[in-house]
A and B are shown apart, each in its own frame.
Chain A
Amino acid sequence: MRHQIVSDDLRAPEMAEAVEKCVHCGFCLAACPTYNLLGEEMDSPRGRIYLMKNVLEENLPAAEAQPYIDRCLGCMACVPACPSGVEYGDLLVGYRALQEKQRQRPPLDALARKLICETLPYPRRFRLAALSGKLGKALLPVLPDAFASMLSLLPDKLPPARPLPAVLPAQGERRGKVALLLGCVQQVLAPEISHAAAQVLARNGVEVHMPRQQGCCGSILLHVGEEEQARDIARRNFGCIPADVDAIITTAAGCGSGMKDYELLFKGQADAARAAAFSHRVIDFSAYLARLGLRETTAGFSSQRRVVYQDACHLLHAQSHQSEPRALLNGIANLRLVEIADAGMCCGSAGTYNIDQPEIAAELSRRKVASILAAEPDLVVSGNIGCITQLRQEFARQNLTLPVAHIAEVLLQAAPA
């Protein structure tokens, strides 16, 4: 589409290019969860591109377009669906960052958002907040919506903190050396994931570095348009992750895709080259392992299990990892992988989306769980803490006992004794 985007924003060229490449064909509509739910053009990728274009062209006040841009999950399902190669993420992330600077939020919203931005990326703060959240839950009925949705996501009890060693040596002949990103939310809510990932890697001959100083990758902040803060927090990792590792492994989808976007995030910054070099080494756990190849065949399960693999949007759409996790799971004896309908549709987790847009998130979860149940699995596996939490909550709400595990945990469980 032609446009008259005039902006001196650093990201304007990428944003303009995304608009230019869009031919308004509508192929993205089929892939978009909010369009599927709401059925209105402005809640589709094509519609949002059109709205952002009009705001950037100063034809439309940003506030008018805002509700529809806010409803975008950022799941990126529209990107692989787009024949003309629109980098929707470049437009959306740039646009959100641009708007966030100018945006006036209502006081309670702003407070809730501030709380998110100041706690989630910091494991220690988040842990404290989560513990006090238990107190908050008692107050749930009297709290405003913005807080209610945040609190309802917190678990009833937190697992104990389990520190990991700074280095886990490779077992047997060394086949690789990696750094493992421990994440922020994940460290508090599910420390067992990193434990499992580190062990599986070590068993497969990979030396795993887990520097204590590491922190959040900043993706969660980037996702909501807090660009400055995202950069600050990301820089901390540049310093502490060894320069000589083969790869920087993530076990959460959003971290991986966010770190792969550092090039754009640091565009024009003094440390742009460093960010790019860092970013190029980032790879998801399942992709790294599938490429490396499991050293030994796994022992597998003692009896037949039907397993649904839940694709995280930021693995499937943003990083194109569809086959790798499936290949790993298919290698496990007595594990039967069953595909579900609409596997590419977001489960509603989407970073902080379940906090910002609880109703849409809840409906997406309901639909996702319905598709999963139709496949009659014994176990659900995912590569992303967000999806895992979202599904566990929806299962609990429906009084279902179906277990949900991270792929690293399943590989560890199925490993030879």
Chain B
Amino acid sequence: MNRAIYDALETIYPAERILMRDAQLLPYESDALTAFNTKPGAVVIPLNEDEIIATVRLCHELDLPFVARGSGTSLSGGSLPIADGLVIGLNRLNRIKRLDPRQRIAVVEPGVVNLHISQAAQPYGLYYAPDPSSQSICTIGGNIAFNSGGAHCLKYGMTSNHVLGLKVVLADGAVTEFGGESLEGVGIGPDVIGLFIGSEGLFGIALEITVRLMPQPERYRTVLAAYDDLGCAGDAVSMVVASGLLPGAMEIMDRLAIKAAEASVNAGYPDAEALLIVELEGEAPQVEAEFEQLNGIIAESGAFETRVAQSEEERARIWKGRKSAFSAVGRLSPDYIVQDGVVPRSRLGEALLEINALKQNYGLDVANVFHAGDGNLHPLILYDGREPGALRKAEQLAGEILALCVALGGSITGEHGIGMEKRDYMPAMFSEEELDIMQALRRAIDPKEIANRGKMFPGGEAPALALQGMHPLEQQGVISRE
């Protein structure tokens, strides 16, 4: 990073909030996807929105690419730095500015941790619904960039469905606000909130976010059903859907995922080929009636064991196991790739069979964890990066799984986003013209392409997840991939 840039940053930040030493930069070179690492030129730590705005304007003026970063939990490399670019670390903007229990809204800064909103709302019997597995640490700013979901999306939607108002700084430095406190969000005029959310940091940075809070359900019924066949668990989901029930969550884990989760948090899961978690929530009389119906369905579905959480602690334990599953796979394998494909729910069984066949072809283990209610698959491809060619093999398998999802009429990402990891698969989902239009839109907002440069779109100047051979930048030693 050249002197002129440092001098310019110094007009905004005191020296201790400009990180430039090796020991300060190395820890920022990856997010939760360690397959990529790139050392940034500098990291700045703003404390308020004026500093963020000034930084973005400076980047625009100096053609300096930047990445906004919260807790760095992206599984798609969404917050991977740009070589010699700037990382804007937002986690000290972590104030809940206002929590209004009467209007059931919270106005927060982008660095607020997802779970902290629910904790602050808890005394009023309210909570913030989207619950990504990393909710204890991931920030709302990142949730907005990637339209994060979670286990409970089927009924109440993803991040986008819970944001009522936004103040943002666009990549060229323009500051704009949309929506407000109404449940209708923007309501009149195009839904710019919906467009901004999920734009993966390519449009700009959210400065202030108004989220809606929901009343905590009166009653939960969390059922754990064990199967000796993954297909049966999938069929059970179809039966639940066909019955007209609308559970808050339906999750499936296969043997490998169960093993990892069990080793991690002692969730007390039964020993099974597949586990199905179904959670009903709502008014007590209604939930109890639904529970009776659900029990009948589960009994018919061939579960060899059924457990029902008897207390809030037991419910929390069931969910802790599920939410730890990804990271817990670190116990089984030194390296893994998490996939995030979506298939139409009715084709879940087909997808699972095909993944099974693929993994045998490749000779790799795949653990399956998925949001069955949404048809959102998270196959975790296990590999040992120390073996020559193992990463490439795992990447190829990942690519085939994504192609399968698209072929079945689904999507290459349900909630993790394209980021770095899946950008080369965008053409599988979108036509050239569609990609051109998205690119044009990005350039209309960010003419210099400085905001999260190199993400989402195939090609570009940042390191690519090339399937054959080393990337030119890798050959030159500019970037490295583990």
Contacts and interface: CB of A to CB of B under 8 A. Distances in A.
Does chain A touch chain B in the assembled complex, meaning CB atoms less than 8 Å apart? Answer: yes
B317 to A, nearest CB: 14
B137 A30 contact: yes
A22 interface: yes
Contacts of B28: 41
Nearest to A44: B27
A68 interface: yes
A316 B344 CA distance: 45
Interface string B37-63: 000000101000000000000000000
B26 A51 contact: yes
Nearest to A32: B137
B327 A41 contact: no
Band of interface residues on A: 20 to 34
Nearest to A64: B23
B328 A64 contact: no
A51 B27 contact: yes
Contacts of A54: 26
Interface stretch (B170-178, B207-215, B331-339): B331-339
A83 interface: yes
Contacts of B26: 42, 50-51, 54, 59-60
Interface in B392-447: none
Contacts of A23: 32, 34, 326-327, 329-330, 336
B136 interface: yes
Contacts of A47: 27
Contact of A25 (B43, B134, B385): B134
B27 A1 contact: no
Chain A CB count within 10 A is highest, among B19, B27, B31, B334, for B27
A1 B335 CA distance: 7
Interface in B113-152: 113, 115, 134, 136-138
Given A21-B330, A84-B264, A85-B263, A26 B23 contact: no
A50 B29 CA distance: 10
A40 B23 contact: no
Contacts, number: 111
Contact of A42 (B27, B325, B329): B27
Contacts of B113: 30
A24 B31 contact: yes
Contacts of B92: 39
B324 interface: yes
Contacts of B264: 83-85
Contact of B71 (A22, A29, A64, A85): A29
Interface in B70-116: 71-73, 89, 91-92, 94, 111, 113, 115
A60 B24 CA distance: 11
A41 B31 CA distance: 10
A25 B327 contact: yes
B3 interface: no
A23 B482 CA distance: 12
A68 B113 CA distance: 23
Contact of B137 (A29, A64, A68, A85): A29
B27 A84 contact: no
Contact of B22 (A26, A60, A85): A60
Nearest to B135: A30
Given A54-B26, A60-B22, A82-B327, A40 B45 contact: yes
A34 to B, nearest CB: 13
Contacts of B72: 26, 41
Contacts of A162: none
A238 interface: no
A25 B263 contact: no
A232 interface: no
Interface in B256-271: 263-265
A21 B329 CA distance: 9
Contacts of B73: 25-26
Contacts of B328: 83-85
26 contacts: A23-B32, A23-B327, A23-B329, A25-B73, A26-B71, A26-B73, A27-B327, A29-B71, A39-B91, A39-B94, A39-B111, A40-B19, A40-B43, A40-B45, A41-B27, A41-B72, A42-B23, A42-B26, A42-B27, A51-B27, A60-B26, A64-B22, A83-B265, A84-B264, A84-B329, A85-B263
Given A23-B34, A30-B137, 4 more contacts: A1-B334, A20-B334, A25-B326, A85-B263
